[in-house]
Structure formats: C-alpha cells, structure tokens
Amino acid sequence: MLVLVAPGQGAQTPGFLTPWLDLPGVEDRLRALSAAVDLDLVHYGTDADADEIRDTAVAQPLLVAAGLVSAAALGDVTPRAVAGHSVGEITAAVLAGVLDDTAALTLVRKRGLAMAEAAAITATGMSALLGGDPDTTVAHLEKLGLTPANVNGAGQIVAAGTMEQLAALEADKPKGVRRVVALKVAGAFHTRHMAPAVDTLAKAALELTPADPTITYVSRTRTARPSPPVPRCWTGWSARSPTRSAGTCAWRPSRSWASPPSWRCVPAAP
C-alpha cells in the first residue's frame, strides 16, 4: 500500500526544487501557484539561500507547493492514504481532494505570515533531542521552561522555546539524550509563542469549503464544524499546541454516495 507523507518546516534546503524544474509541467504549476499567493516559489525553491527560506512566511507555502508538484510526478499512481507533519497536513488535504491547490496555498500563505509575525515578537527556535527516555526528557524540558512541541515517537522529541532556553538545553542535556540538533525554523512553533497568530488562522480556516476525501486522509485531530469537519492543523489551534504521534485520526472516504465520510481516531504504533 502506498502512503504519501508530506513534511513540515525544516525540510527545505537551498535549491531543493532545482532538479524538479526539468520535469514537464512543474515550472508552469509552480508559477501558477506563485501567482495565486503573490510569492515567487520558483525563486525560493531554486536560487534563495538558507536564511531566505527559513522565513516562516516563505517556508510554509514553499513546502506545500513542493509536496504538490512531487506528488503529481507520480502520474497515475494513486496512494491509498495521505498524511503530513504540521503544515504538511495541508499538503495532504490537497492530495486527498479535500482542498484545491489555490485554497490550500492561500490558507498556508496566511498561516505563514501570521506565524512569522508571532515569531518576530521574541527570538525563539526549536531543537530535536535524539535518544533518552520520553518521561525523563519531558520533565527536564519543563524544568528549563521549554515545551516538548513535537513528540515524534520513541527516541525523538522536539523542544521549543526562547533561544536562551535552547542554549541552556544544549549545555544541560537530559539524561540519556545523545544529541541536541537545532532545527532550521524561525520560531517556537506549536507553543504559546504562536498565540498571537491564533485568531488570524481560525478566521482563515472558516473561509474554507472542504470536500469529502477521495482517499484516506490522516490527521492528528479535527474539529466538529464546519461539515465536512476541519482538521485542527488548519487552524490556530495547531500553531500553538504541541503535536504528538498518538491520537491520530483517519478521515476515510465514504463507501457509498449516501454515507458521509467518517473519522476514526487510533493510537499511533509504538
């Protein structure tokens, strides 16, 4: 079974879209998406440097657009399910037929701008911790005033907070943690530092008209309204709340035209 998983911020690297432009139709699609959100995605995916694409307002639409063109390169191959990490859930929504390209990029552009403004208030960042016991690590992070923003599974937790707090973490790692790796992001996402962006994102999500998925769309969680339900990753809730691999929800297509799509929430595999 083929499952496509779209990445979140930090996956971008300078020039990562350059080889994709050699494929038929890719540059045209990127330019069309660029026009929709008034952002030169071709430039940022090919010529821009690491600092330019670290900017949240650029990184988010750039990664979603990259996910869409790379999935299109599969041609007639259709995945059975799609999922994404953080903003990658919006990429997955397009692949599942829940949103169209323009609606998704418009939402992501607003999301990125709002989160960039929030990130500019205080110098913050994120670091991945490799190894260690999750309970011990979380307790240590909380002692330092950091948020365990992403609990990605056994052996990897992402801490988020101020740059001073992250420096203290580097100097005082939790017991059992092998490495602390600074991430290429411009703020402490999925924490209270993103609270100023919440209202903007919530309003933007309410402007959407999501469709029923054509394939299984996996999300961390969802809201009850509107109908079809809107995954919380589209709203301000996700911007300021930690993400965890447990509590995943699958939005499954209906088996008949008379039946609505269903959500089934399942624990993540250990």
43 is a catalytic site residue: no
86 is a catalytic site residue: yes
Q: CA-CA distances (angstroms) from residue 159 to 165, 179, 218, 227?
A: 10, 12, 24, 34
Report residue 100 CA to chain centroid gap: 17
Gyration radius of the chain's alpha carbons: 18
Query: Dihedral of CA 255/261/262/266: which sign?
Result: positive
Residue 175's φ and ψ, nearest 5 degrees, are: -60, 130
* Candidate list 34, 85, 140, 190, residue with the active-site label: 190
Nearest to 253 by CA among 104, 2, 68, 81: 81
Q: Strand, coil or helix: what is 217? A: strand
* Candidate list 34, 86, 127, 219, residue with the active-site label: 86
SS (H, E, C) 27-71: HHHHHHHHHHHCCCHHHHHHCCCHHHHHCHHHHHHHHHHHHHHHH
Q: Where are the extended beta strands (E) located within the chain?
A: 3-6, 81-84, 124-131, 147-153, 156-162, 177-182, 216-219, 243-244, 248-252, 262-266
Are 151 and 213 in contact by the 8 Å Cβ rule? The answer is no
Q: How far apart are CA 38 and CA 217, in angstroms?
A: 28
**Interior CA angle at 157 toward 152 and 162, to 5°?**
130
Catalogue the active-site residues: 86, 190
